[in-house]
């Protein structure tokens, strides 16, 4: 996670699966990240 600042929920899910062989839903992954003090931000395209 220290490699870069921004990760998508999907990327985190894949990282957990690869490293720990555990699968979580996107919703549960976001909950775990929130419990760790990380925040979920939605990006907006420049055209919006």
Distance CA 9, CA 26 (A): 6
The residue ranges of every structural domain in the chain are 1-41
pTM value is 0.69
Distance CA 27, CA 34 (A): 11
pLDDT at residue number 6: 82
Q: Is the pLDDT of residue 43 over 80?
A: no
Q: Is 33 helix (H, G, I), strand (E, B) or coil?
A: helix
pLDDT at residue number 45: 60
- Beta carbons of 1 and 8 less than 8 angstroms apart: no
- Beta carbons of 32 and 24 less than 8 angstroms apart: yes
Contacts of 30 (CB under 8 A, 6+ apart): 9, 40
pLDDT tens-place string over residues 4-31 = 778 888 999 999 999 999 999 999 999 9
């Amino acid at each position: 996670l220290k490699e870069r600042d921004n990760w998508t929920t999907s990327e985190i899910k894949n990282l957990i699966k690869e490293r720990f062989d555990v699968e979580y839903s996107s919703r549960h992954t976001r909950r775990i990240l929130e419990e760790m003090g990380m925040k979920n931000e939605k990006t907006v395209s420049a055209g919006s």
